[in-house]
Amino acid sequence: MSSSIAKPNKFNAGDKVFAKISDYPYWPALILDVNTGNKDAVLYKVLCYGSYRLALVKEDGICDYIKNKKLYGKPRNTCMSFDSAILDIDASIGCFKKNRKKIHQIYCINKRLNKWLKKAKRAKNSPNQESSEHKLQKKMTQLKTLRIECKMLKLDLRIKRCLNLVEPNLQNCLQFLTQLDTLQITPVMLKKHPEVVNTISRVKLYMGHIRTSKETQEMEFKYSRQASEIRAKADGVYHKIKTLFNSESDADFVIRFGSQLRTFQAKTVGLSCREFMYLTTEPV
């Protein structure tokens, strides 16, 4: 008597992969679901980055994204949608780790500044009281600015998490956008972290998540209304950012911000990671 043992799936829901769909090249995709009910082959329901279309792909048409990026992820100048898909999947993989690292770095800097401030306040009978007072005030201003910067990065990370394609949290996203709108963000913060500008510019165009068959018409209406509110709130935040760079139109802002960002990056290229994170004013 022989018994058949089911082989484990090579991939699971949530995995980032390349998927071979029809005559298209291997395409960056996210596995949404695994269908093992087909006796002939395991089928994977995937979401294609760039186009955000759904497809069913057999297991032999799926391969790991990271391991095969050099083979299948080369830029295709003749296919802009493919290049856009690569950017999207890379952002979904890397942005959270990158932001967490930045937040941790700024947190450590805040901690050091707090210790320095406590020590400075306890110091008495300074030989140069006026100079010491000025230095203390400067450090306090720097600490306040870095705290705002840290909050900005945390909110950017939370907004991205809220707007995932499968299970978004639109109510929380609105709250985080509102909090971001109240922060006293400076041009230097945005030039240090241009991904925040990119996040808001994309949220302005947010159209909603992937619909499921379980959603009622009432739920769809609710999500559509919330998506509209999110776009409006993001547009307000984006307008506030534009005013920091004396720009009225989106096109003018893109040009101005891009130019200033390149200049900023050229001036800070020689700074260490710590020096860069401590930066709260325009570099000389």
CATH number of the CATH domain containing 39: 2.30.30.140
Task: Give the CA angle between residues 230, 99, 151 to the nearest 5°.
Answer: 65
* Residue 91 pLDDT: 64
Range of the domain at 153: 140-278
Polymer length in residues for the chain: 284
Q: Average pLDDT, stretch 82-92?
A: 73
Considering 48, 66, 83, which residue would you say is the last residue of a domain? 83
Decide: 191 and 264 in contact? Cβ < 8 Å: yes
Considering 83, 101, 128, which residue would you say is the last residue of a domain? 83
* Residue 1 pLDDT: 43
* Residue 86 pLDDT: 78
Per-residue confidence band for 4, with pLDDT thresholds at 50, 70 and 90: very low
Domain presence at residue 152: yes
| pLDDT tens-digit series, residues 221-262 | 788 888 899 999 999 999 999 999 998 898 899 999 999 999
Domain presence at residue 94: no
Per-residue confidence band for 19, with pLDDT thresholds at 50, 70 and 90: very high
Q: Average pLDDT, stretch 169-185?
A: 94
Per-residue confidence band for 54, with pLDDT thresholds at 50, 70 and 90: confident
Domain presence at residue 118: no
* Spatial distance between the Cα atoms of 57 and 249, rounded to a whole number of angstroms: 43
Structural domain count, the chain: 2
* Residue 131 pLDDT: 59
* Residue 2 pLDDT: 45
* Residue 216 pLDDT: 73
Domain presence at residue 181: yes
Considering 40, 64, 83, which residue would you say is the last residue of a domain? 83
Residue 164 has pLDDT above 60, yes or no: yes
Q: Average pLDDT, stretch 204-213?
A: 69
Average pLDDT in the chain: 82
* Spatial distance between the Cα atoms of 46 and 28, rounded to a whole number of angstroms: 10
Q: Average pLDDT, stretch 117-145?
A: 71
Per-residue confidence band for 77, with pLDDT thresholds at 50, 70 and 90: low
185 with 71, same domain: the answer is no
148 with 22, same domain: the answer is no
* Residue 17 pLDDT: 94
78 with 154, same domain: the answer is no
Count of CB atoms situated within 10 Å of the CB of 216? 8
Residue 96 has pLDDT above 80, yes or no: no
155 with 25, same domain: the answer is no
Tell me the CATH number at 262.
1.20.930.10
Residue 178 has pLDDT above 80, yes or no: yes
Domain presence at residue 284: no
Q: Average pLDDT, stretch 104-133?
A: 68
Domain presence at residue 131: no
What is 222-256 written as a DSSP string? HHHHHHHHHHHHHHHHHHHHHHHTT--SHHHHHHH
74 with 171, same domain: the answer is no
Domain presence at residue 212: yes
Q: Which residue has the higher pLDDT, 265 or 97?
A: 265
- Which range among 72-81, 90-99, 181-190 has the greatest average pLDDT? 181-190
* Residue 97 pLDDT: 58
